[in-house]
Amino acid sequence: MKITDLTVTDIPLGPRSEPFWNSIIHTGSHGFARVEVHTDAGITGMTLGGLSGAHASRLRSLIVGQDPLCADALWERMYGHNRKPVA
């Protein structure tokens, strides 16, 4: 079984009373994303997350073609891609 696609649906919750920022993003709005992972076996996994659709979509190239049952390997690929080097 292989991952064939990742689709993201942004679910906006409106503007924040005060802007939010961290080392990765700066935003004046908030919401969450519905993320679906599709496989060639016809199985689709779905989760809701706090990340934006734009951010989740960048992960598509990292997971398409990978085995969805190898959760540890997928985690390492996605986590390593998302970390900024120190200094």
Token couple for 80 = 């390593």
Query: What CA–CA distance (Å, rounded) separates 43 from 9?
Result: 18
Query: What CA–CA distance (Å, rounded) separates 67 from 11?
Result: 28
Tens of pLDDT, residue by residue over 10-65, are: 888 777 777 766 666 666 667 788 889 999 999 999 998 766 666 776 788 899 99
Instruction: Give the pLDDT of residue 40.
Output: 98
Q: Which residue has the tokens 């390997």?
A: 73
Token couple for 17 = 């009373």
Instruction: Give the pLDDT of residue 51.
Output: 63
Instruction: Give the pLDDT of residue 21.
Output: 67
pTM score > 0.75 for this model? Answer: no
Instruction: Give the pLDDT of residue 2.
Output: 98
Residue 12 CA, chain-centre distance (Å), reads 15
Q: Per-domain residue ranges for the chain? A: 3-82
What's the CATH number for 3-82? 3.30.390.10
Identity at 61, one-letter amino acid code: S
Describe the chain by its helix, strand, coil percentages, rounded to 5.
Answer: 25, 45, 30
Instruction: Give the pLDDT of residue 29.
Output: 67
Query: What CA–CA distance (Å, rounded) separates 69 from 79?
Result: 17
